Structure 1
Amino acid sequence: MSLRPTLETRRAQPTMEGAGVHLHRAFGFSDPEELDPFLMLDDFRNDHPAMYQAGFPWHPHRGIETITYVLSGTVEHSDSLGNTGLLGAGDVQWMTAGSGILHQEMPKGNLNGQMHGFQLWANLPGALKMTAPRYQDVAGKEIPEVIDDDGTRVRIVIGSFWGRTGPVDGIAADPQFLDITVPAGVTKTFKVDTYRRAFAYIFEGEGAFADASRPSGVLLEKEVMGEEVNIRDMSGNRTLVRFGTGDEVKVQAGPRGLRFLLISGAPIQEPVAWHGPIVMNTQAELRQAMKELRNGTFIKPAH
């Protein structure tokens, strides 16, 4: 087994999207090769309805798939295929934009006004960018959760892990999307396919990921010395951890425990031409999409 090195640890950056939704962007709109096949991860979390209730009114997508995972509150969805739905706490939505879709997503808080969810953009390979749009809602009760002897909990949103398989399938990037909770002080190792790009996103508590690229790294050295990892050495809320190659990641949870997304996918390794909600392979394809948006031919008839 080989431990994945930590290439980078960075905080999600506050930004605004839609009609004025305040959120934090873990990555996106910079280097599309960095976490290929993933393009963007947004953490939309707020306790104040005025900061999110304007939502994401009607807007287009082409050439990507979106995975929306809700932890609290609800998100109401409508699209040009005629689909409507309401995502609640624990639910997930997968949408293949393919050749083109128009949709809107309108968040609402829970009884306390709290809203929290994530949206991940996965790229489509060139051969599938103009595929027919598709949409799938999955209720939280259908997502398997496995609890290990040490109290570690893993919700398997997409992919297979610890002998269980998540309910969302058919995504071109074939991702693994796990929601992991590690109890306070527990050190845990998780297997990740060697040939996939992988990252973690911490959203509760804190923890330290072992770093094989630095033998004197915090976690590994202090484990050998039998010491506790100092809380100052740990990464906390809204932190992205980007990993290099290897087949497992190792983390020690801090005194408040740790909850994070662990996401991996097979890189597409194709050129990316990207403008807002449209991601193609060439600038010519991008210009064509914009032209179709202007002349009303963006949405393709169903075959």
Structure 2
Amino acid sequence: MTDPRRILSIQPGQPASDGAGVRLNRVIGGPGLERFDPFLMLDEFSSNDPDDYIAGFPPHPHRGFETITYMLEGRMRHEDHLGNVGLLGSGGVQWMTAARGIIHSEMPEQESGAMRGFQLWLNLPAKDKLGEAGYRDIPAQQIPRLTTSAGVEVVVIAGQFDDGEISQAGAVQRPHTEPQLFDLHLPPGSRIAPRLADGQRVMLYVYEGLLELPEASKQAVSAGHLVRLTDEGQLQLASAQGARVLLIAGTPLREPIVQYGPFVMNSREEIEQALRDFRDGALA
């Protein structure tokens, strides 16, 4: 019998503001929130008040990593200097590979109602940081969904979901970091045991309800908290009252990380070059 993955930490997100004043819950990536290689940042945005999101994210640059935006509710428009235009709607995903450079904006396409979702920053290996930038919109209908025998709904955004009964490839596959990104909807009294490769870093972000990790330590985790787990072992999740959870896993790059705002490279010299390139209009 394989031992369960142990809990390394449980931490709440921290209130933050980004863009032109969008209110966020910064789950990883802020002051005092340790990166969890290959992941650099996770933000949750959730508000029914347009004052919290209406200013959006005007044009800004990125280099050296990927951004994954998953929209639960709302509408956001993407535009970038490469000519890409996309509308991110409820249930959809935007996967952007900044690589050598991209300047983009993300602006709300609504003036009222709920705006709710997540943005995850995923590092790129050193050899790909100055590669070609890319952008992909994935509407909700193109993202696989399945329901397990226990009634758990799984949205398979990236990677390969496998619980021993069902195996399903996600909408996105990426080399090197091999990200696994699943949105799990556990009804009351259900459980699920996703199979994840040993060596992968695993995080769970509970955004609704109460999640139990019965084999890890019988610990209950409430909404708004991130769980970091050890790199090996089984994963068993359960919920007596129901929960919604983002499962995020990936293979660490084990490379130096040097970040300055929207630039993530491997050395200070590369950051200085990114700043010069942006100043000179030669980011991409």
TM-score range, shorter chain: over 0.9
Q: 1:108 and 1:210, CA in 2 relative to 1: closer, same or farther beyond 3 A?
A: farther
Structure number, greater radius of gyration: 1
* 1:293 counterpart = 2:275: no
Q: Which moved more, 1:157-166 or 1:183-192?
A: 183-192
Partner of 1:63: 64
Residue 108 of structure 1 deviates from its aligned partner by 4.0
Contact 1:49 1:108 in 2 (8 A): no
Residue 189 of structure 1 deviates from its aligned partner by 2.0
**TM-score, structure 1 normalization:** 0.88
Partner of 1:264: 249
* 1:240 counterpart = 2:244: no
Residue 128 of structure 1 deviates from its aligned partner by 0.5
Where does the alignment leave 5 or more consecutive residues of structure 2 unmatched?
none
Q: 1:33 and 1:26, CA in 2 relative to 1: closer, same or farther beyond 3 A?
A: closer
* 1:183 counterpart = 2:169: no
Residue 64 of structure 1 deviates from its aligned partner by 0.5
Give identity over the alignment, percent: 41
In structure 1, C-alpha distance between the alignment counterparts of 2:282 and 2:200, rounded to whole Å: 36
Which residue identity does 2:281 align to in structure 1? Answer: G
How do residues 71-86 of structure 1 correspond to structure 2 at under 5 angstroms? 71-86=72-87
Partner of 2:128: 128
**TM-score, structure 2 normalization:** 0.93
Which residue identity does 1:237 align to in structure 2? Answer: A
In structure 2, C-alpha distance between the alignment counterparts of 1:31 and 1:279, rounded to whole Å: 18
Residue 279 of structure 1 deviates from its aligned partner by 0.3
> What does the per-residue CA deviation read over 1:191-214, in whole Å, with 9 as the maximum and x for residues that have no partner?
2111110100011111122364xx
Q: CA RMSD in A?
A: 1.7
* 1:251 counterpart = 2:251: no
How do residues 1-303 of structure 1 correspond to structure 2 at under 5 angstroms? 1-29=2-30, 34-109=35-110, 113-162=113-162, 163-170=167-174, 172-210=176-214, 212=216, 217=217, 219=218, 234-255=220-241, 257-299=242-284
In structure 2, C-alpha distance between the alignment counterparts of 1:183 and 1:295, rounded to whole Å: 53
**Partner SS state of residue 9, structure 1:** strand
Contact 1:210 1:249 in 2 (8 A): no
In structure 1, C-alpha distance between the alignment counterparts of 2:115 and 2:198, rounded to whole Å: 35
Aligned length: 279
Contact 1:33 1:269 in 2 (8 A): no
Structure number with greater CO (CA < 8 Å, separation at least 6) is: 1
In structure 1, C-alpha distance between the alignment counterparts of 2:110 and 2:200, rounded to whole Å: 35
Which residue identity does 1:285 align to in structure 2? Answer: E
Which residue identity does 2:154 align to in structure 1? Answer: V
Q: Which moved more, 1:194-203 or 1:243-252?
A: 243-252
Partner of 1:222: none
Q: Which moved more, 1:23-32 or 1:281-290?
A: 23-32
